Amino acid sequence: MDNNFLAELLFGDVKTTPDEIFAKYPPRTLPEKAAVTRFAPSPTGFMHIGGLYAALVSMLTAKQSGGVFYLRLEDTDKKREVEHGADEIITSLAKYGVIFDEGAAADGEAEKGNYGPYRQSLRRGIYQTFAKELVRQGLAYPCFCSAEELDEIRAKQEAEKADIGYYGEYAKCRSLTIEQIEQNIKAGREFVLRLKSDGSAENKIICRDIIRGKIEMPENITDVVLLKSDGIPTYHYAHAVDDFLMGTTHVIRGDEWISSYPIHEQLFKVSGFKMPLYAHIAPIMKLDGGENRKRKLSKRKDPEASVSFYANAGFPAESVLEYLMTIANSGYEDWRMKNPDADMSEYKFKLEKMPVSGALFDMDKLASVSKDVIAKMSEERLAKEITLWASVHDEKLSAFITASPEKFAESISLWKYNGKKVRKDIAKWSDLSAMFPYLYSNDEITEYEFDERISDSDRREFLNAYIAAYNHDCDSSQWFADVKTIAEPLGFCPDIKAYKASPDGFKGSVADACAILRAAITGRKNSPDLYSIIQLLGKEETVKRLSKAAK
Ligand code: GLU
């Protein structure tokens, strides 16, 4: 077969040579150990938490080695693409501090970097140039098989209990003559371009995965598709061409790609491209029906699979990152314990220490990590973050803040501290309205957690007496003294210890009187300091609530 003739027949309009392309993609000049990594999503408009995780570890690998981290958009599947998918990826990652050194830019903005274009849809000519070269070398051929023909091959293989795929004797179009090919082309028949695999099932290849170590696999024997009938490359071929030209040193990707590694190994080899290193990361999982039934977080089934879920709930970005780091490297938590105030970027991240099997996403753990993160935030920072979040996600809280930023600032101190100690109650901003509706909404309290040991009539009697004698403008010790003075004649022992020693003859102690007030004002059995709450609410609102509870 005259391969040059075939190459011209298939790719007559491709005039560029591989050398011309190589000249545009010189090897990068970086320090010896510098890693070049990339995040290579399909712009489907959905940012999966696993995507953020992969982007984070890819960025750390590059940044900590003085390398380059870039964004490549794998936008060859137009059916899955959404409008502004790239913007969505770039902006949602930026909120988590994932910033690219180079690569695809938001729509309408210029790309950064000399190794682009970084959108695969703009690289068609490049793939075709290398594909044409493979044809010239007799390493690739056109395949005209229709879907029906492929089905037939499959049925035959099933009947013969042979491996499924387009290979060896089953690869019909491998043996087409140049005349047959010419005829097909003239007749306008569509074709895909296939690799002419020289692999043998007996041979083994080895993937030296950074995370998993040595993985032995049979060599690829399939004549995989390189270019689809529209001339657009498959993932496999684009991966080889792009990661080689763009100078990727570490391909960090989901472990669902391990089984395709033999194809990639062969494609790099036949193309004469130096292979990058590979790190296949285990996905983030969840339990589904029973202890041992782990599955990947699913875009369709699990709201928590989406990065936006965390932002909507009001988890600070730092909390999510901090939690992802605990999954990424088990040593992270120890480090954090020893360096409570250090910036995350000071941690020496190690790709080789990533877990081999899928970690379970643990919401409780995220919440606990987040409580620590929030506890460390200054009041100014809290005010800023919460204001921003509430303006999009919590109308009532936002109205409260806008009505009085000062009051809001006071309310932060209220739940942030217990005396001098910093409390750790809040894991996400949506907890605020859930935990302190009595502060942040004007909704009437409809359920009261009153202590049943005190009868309804005793409670009312105390509340009415309290309202009648109520003095709002006093300090906290006077306030407490007043509660005692009002409660004592009604049968509440003013001394808690004395009451505990001999409760007989009392309705309760001053602590019980305070509990009545607390429930009347907040609805709850537990709350931050009641005096401070009252001061925040103001006299009018306090009396209004007491009166309603007394009815
Ligand atoms: N577009 C591929 C994916 O989203 C990229 C895999 C890779 O990083 O090579 O799975």
Q: What is the pLDDT of residues 45-77, one digit of tens each?
A: 789 999 999 999 999 999 999 999 999 999 988
State the Cα–Cα distance between residues 192 and 131, nearest whole angstrom. 11
Q: Which residues form ligand 1's pocket by a CB distance below 6 Å?
A: 40-42, 74, 239, 251, 253-254
Instruction: Give the per-residue pLDDT at 289.
Output: 77
Three state DSSP letters for 136-187: HCCCEEEECCCHHHHHHHHHHHHHCCCCCCCCHHHCHHHHCCHHHHHHHHHC
Residue 484: which H helix or E strand, with range? helix 476-487
Best substitution site from 253, 267, 277 to test ligand 1's pocket, by max atoms within 8 Å of Cβ? 253
Question: Would you say 240 and 382 are in contact if contact means Cβ atoms under 8 Å apart?
Answer: no
Instruction: Give the per-residue pLDDT at 81.
Output: 66
State the Cα angle at 199 between 211 and 166, rounded to 5°: 100
Q: Which residues pair with 112 in a beta bridge?
A: 103
Instruction: Give the per-residue pLDDT at 199.
Output: 96
State the Cα angle at 235 between 230 and 238, rounded to 5°: 80
Nearest atom (ligand 1) to Cα of 51: 4
Q: Whose CA is nearest to atom 5 of ligand 1?
A: 40
**Global model pTM greater than 0.75:** yes
How far apart are the CA of 41 and the centre of ligand 1, in A?
6
Q: Whose CA is nearest to atom 3 of ligand 1?
A: 41
Nearest atom (ligand 1) to Cα of 256: 10
Question: Would you say 501 and 404 are in contact if contact means Cβ atoms under 8 Å apart?
Answer: no
Nearest atom (ligand 1) to Cα of 257: 6
Q: Whose CA is nearest to atom 9 of ligand 1?
A: 253
How far apart are the CA of 254 and the centre of ligand 1, in A?
7
Nearest to 263 by CA among 299, 293, 233: 233
Best substitution site from 61, 257, 263 to test ligand 1's pocket, by max atoms within 8 Å of Cβ? 257
Q: Which residue positions in the chain have pLDDT lower than 50? A: none
Contacts of 2 (CB under 8 A, 6+ apart): 178
Q: Whose CA is nearest to atom 4 of ligand 1?
A: 41
State the Cα–Cα distance between residues 311 and 265, nearest whole angstrom. 39
Three-state SS at 492:
strand
State the Cα–Cα distance between residues 194 and 547, nearest whole angstrom. 82
Q: Whose CA is nearest to atom 1 of ligand 1?
A: 41
* CATH topology classification for 4-14+125-281: Rossmann fold (3.40.50)
Q: Whose CA is nearest to atom 10 of ligand 1?
A: 41
Nearest atom (ligand 1) to Cα of 42: 1
Domain boundaries, the chain: 4-14+125-281, 300-352+363-375, 377-440, 456-550
* CATH topology classification for 456-550: Arc Repressor Mutant, subunit A (1.10.10)
Nearest to 143 by CA among 168, 174, 178: 174
Instruction: Give the per-residue pLDDT at 44.
Output: 84
Instruction: Give the per-residue pLDDT at 84.
Output: 78
- 225-227/192-195 β-pairing: antiparallel
How far apart are the CA of 424 and the centre of ligand 1, in A?
39
Nearest atom (ligand 1) to Cα of 38: 8
Nearest atom (ligand 1) to Cα of 39: 8
